[in-house]
Structure 1
Amino acid sequence: MISRKLKIAMVCYPNMTLLDLLGPETVFSRFADIHLVWKTLESLSTDTNVSINPNCTFADCPDDLDIVFVPGGPGSIAIMSDAEVLSFIREKSRDSRFVTSVCTGSLILAAAGLLKGARATTHWSVRDELAMMGAIVVNERVVVDGNRITGGGITSGIDFGLEVVALVIGEDAAKATTLFLEYDPKPPFASGTPELAGEKVVRMLSPEISQVKKGIAEAIAKVNRLGLGRVDC
Structure 2
Amino acid sequence: MMTRRVLTAAVLAAAAAGASAQATPAPARGKERIALLIYPGFTALDLFGPHNMLCGLMPEKIDLVAKTSDPVITDTGVTIVPSATFGDIAPGLDVLFVPGGTKGTLAALQDEATREFVARQGASARYVTSVCTGSLILGAAGLLRGYRATSHWVARDILSEFGAQPVDSRVVIDRNRVTGAGVSAGLDFGLTLVGLLRDAGYAQRVQLVAEYDPHPPFDAGTPAKAPADVTADMRTMFAPFAAEALKAARAYK
- TM-score, with length taken from structure 2: 0.86
User: 2:77 maps to what in 1?
Assistant: 49
Letter in 1 for 2:70: E
User: 2:9 maps to what in 1?
Assistant: none
User: 1:150 maps to what in 2?
Assistant: 179
Q: Does 1:29 align with 2:58?
A: no
Distance 1:221 1:150 in 2: 21
Distance 2:239 2:125 in 1: 35
SS in 1 for 2:225: helix
* Structure 1 segment 155-174 matched on structure 2, within 5 A: 155-174=184-203
Q: Return the match for 2:108 from 76, 79, 87.
A: 79
User: 1:226 maps to what in 2?
Assistant: none
Distance 1:48 1:4 in 2: 31
Letter in 2 for 1:64: G
Q: Is the 8 A contact 1:2 1:168 kept in 2?
A: no
Q: Does 1:14 align with 2:40?
A: yes
Q: How far off its partner does 1:64 sit? A: 3.0
Q: How far off its partner does 1:50 sit? A: 0.9
Letter in 2 for 1:55: S
Letter in 2 for 1:94: A
Q: Is the 8 A contact 2:161 2:249 kept in 1?
A: no
Q: How far off its partner does 1:199 sit? A: 1.6
**5+ long unaligned stretches in structure 2:** 1-26
Q: How far off its partner does 1:105 sit? A: 0.3
TM superposition outliers: structure 1 runs of 4+ over 3 Å: none
Distance 1:147 1:73 in 2: 23
Post-superposition CA distance 1:46-104 (Å, at most 9, x none): 11021111110101112231000000002111111211111111111111100000000
User: 2:209 maps to what in 1?
Assistant: 180
Q: How far off its partner does 1:4 sit? A: 3.0
Q: Is the 8 A contact 2:161 2:250 kept in 1?
A: no
User: 1:200 maps to what in 2?
Assistant: 229
Aligned-residue Cα RMSD (Å) equals 1.2
Letter in 2 for 1:18: A
